[in-house]
């Protein structure tokens, strides 16, 4: 019986080992991609939340009668900077910059119409 073996076990073992290695590589790639996606999504929502806080804080200052100046807020997730500048008797321009602790940046600008008490333009960079 030993003399009739044709040597199929070694190539079969190598093919199965390569197949298993390809599966492990594929699953690792998927895990790395999903982890990066979840991290990017988390940072996106953190920056969106910070931008909302910046808009609320700047609108509170505008409603309090402040028509020029700048302010910096430090939050657990990052820093917010905004500057308020009156560009005409009825319009105020506000520049917003949000920086997360991961150094992701979100910059926006809006115009606030004093006569209508609402935003007249919103622009993100």
Q: What is the pTM of this model?
A: 0.79
- Which helix (H) or strand (E) segment holds residue 68: the answer is strand 68-75
- Residue 79 phi/psi, 5-degree rounding, is -120, 145
pLDDT one-digit tens code per residue, 13-53: 999 999 999 999 999 999 999 999 999 999 999 999 999 99
pLDDT band at 3 (very low <50, low <70, confident <90, very high): low
Q: Looking at beta carbons, which pairs linking 107-112 to residues 24 or more positions away fall under 8 Å?
A: 108/51, 108/54, 110/55, 111/87, 112/59, 112/62
DSSP state of 28: H
The residue among 41, 45, 101, 113 whose CA lies nearest residue 77 is 101
The pLDDT of residue 74 is: 94
């Amino acid at each position: 019986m030993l003399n009739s073996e044709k040597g199929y076990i070694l190539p079969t073992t190598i093919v199965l080992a390569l197949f298993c290695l390809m599966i492990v590589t594929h699953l690792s790639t998927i895990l790395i991609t999903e982890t990066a996606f979840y991290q990017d999504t988390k940072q996106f929502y953190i920056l969106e939340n910070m931008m909302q806080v910046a808009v609320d804080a700047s609108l509170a200052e505008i409603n309090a009668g402040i028509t020029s100046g700048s302010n910096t807020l430090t939050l657990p997730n990052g820093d917010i900077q905004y500057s308020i500048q009156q560009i005409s008797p009825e319009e105020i321009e506000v520049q917003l910059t949000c920086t997360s602790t991961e150094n992701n940046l979100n910059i926006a600008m809006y115009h606030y119409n004093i006569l209508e008490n609402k935003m007249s333009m919103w622009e993100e960079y």
